Amino acid sequence: MLTCDHPVLPDRYNDRVDEHLRYSWGSACLAHLYRALCKASRFNCKEIDGPLTLLLGWTWIRLPYLLPLPREPRSFSLANRWRNWERGDRQYRYLNLAHFRKALDELQEGQFVWVDYAVDRVDPNIIPAEIYMQSVVWSATVPLVLFECIEWHATDRFRRQFGFVQGVPNQERNLDKAHGEVLTGPKNLNWATTPNHSIWVMNWTNRYNYILSELPMPSQHPLDSYMYWYRSKFGDR
């Protein structure tokens, strides 16, 4: 959330600061975004909600060949580097959907930025120390929880994002009924005690037990075993 400098959850209902501090809002925002992306992938979906500033910042940081010219490359929050970008890159606003689809289709190895907070990408003095202090939990393979919304944070499937070599991932987790819950029913429901949610909330509570722990590797290329597994499962995409 600090990388966005944006009110990703602007609802002020029951606005009590002491209550807000008890929640993990960063993971909750990711859960909301993952659920929104899941819905948007349906063929008949024509719109998307959620913290889209976070999604746009993620895209521009990791796919730099798609982004407009940054105006404030050394500013914090990180997404601020594109504040008022249209003043310096007027042509960008006229690029159409076909342009971006073609660019993604032609994506080559090396054009995707896996470790976006590496020292050669971001000056370590820009990001506050309290954020880096929590970076160990970024790689936790756990469910992300936002009240009724449960989404899986499958870090074992994108190890390269954390500087690790990508091997064959574990079997994907089936969230079963928890993935289809909607925010209905009695008010003030404690989702942590409901039958479909309690096990996932417990997983999140023990998140430090599920972080990726192998040593970072200098090579950012996937293992041959991973490529064989991927192509046998998904084809040559």
State percent of the chain over pLDDT 70.
79
List the beta strands (DSSP E) in the chain.
Answer: 143-146, 149-152
pLDDT, mean over the chain: 79
Q: Residue 151: phi, psi to the nearest 5?
A: -135, 145
1 pLDDT exceeds 50?
no
Tens of pLDDT, residue by residue over 119-133, are 667 776 777 787 778
State percent of the chain over pLDDT 90.
17
Average of pLDDT values for 134-142? Answer: 89
1 neighbors 130 (Cβ within 8 angstroms): no
* Distance separating alpha carbons of residues 12 and 24, to the nearest angstrom: 16
- Which of 6-15, 82-91, 196-205, 226-235 has the weakest average pLDDT? 6-15
What are the beta bridge partners of residue 152? 143
Tens of pLDDT, residue by residue over 29-52, are 899 999 999 989 888 988 998 888
Highest-confidence segment of 13-22, 91-100, 203-212, 226-235: 203-212
Residue 101: count other Cβ atoms within 10 Å of its Cβ: 10
150 neighbors 178 (Cβ within 8 angstroms): yes
14 pLDDT exceeds 60?
no
Tens of pLDDT, residue by residue over 156-180, are 998 888 888 888 888 888 888 878 7
Q: Which residue in 123, 135, 138, 146 sits closest to 192, CA to CA?
A: 146
* Distance separating alpha carbons of residues 124 and 126, to the nearest angstrom: 5
pLDDT at 219: 62
pLDDT at 180: 79
Cα angle 102-107-109, degrees, rounded to a multiple of 5:
170
Is the pTM higher than 0.85? no
